[in-house]
Amino acid sequence: MLDNSFIFSLIVSGFSTLAIYFLTNRHEYKNESNYDSKELLKIFSIIFVLCFGTLYLKNRDISESNISQSPMRSGESLLSHSSRPPF
């Protein structure tokens, strides 16, 4: 589940936004945060986009480097006796 970039980014940005919400300075007798809901949504979206973009680019670079290290050869040498047609 955590190897999926989208789900991991949702979890990280959700926890970060909740931490920011609960750790901000609150008024003494009111149950209000210094941030309103629009600002918290902006914070959530910025953290999500940064986290998802970083993980996506990191995973793409890893997968491209694995492909470039083992080039595929074309031709008859890739066919084994079991994969050739019988005629």
Q: How many CB atoms lie within 10 A of CB 12?
A: 17
Q: How far apart are the C-alpha atoms of 83 and 19, rounded to whole Å?
A: 57
Q: How far apart are the C-alpha atoms of 77 and 10, rounded to whole Å?
A: 46
pLDDT tens digits, residue range 23-76?
876 655 565 666 778 888 999 999 999 999 998 888 887 766 655 545 555 555
**Single pTM value for the model:** 0.60
Half-sphere exposure of 54 (CA within 13 A, CB side): 9
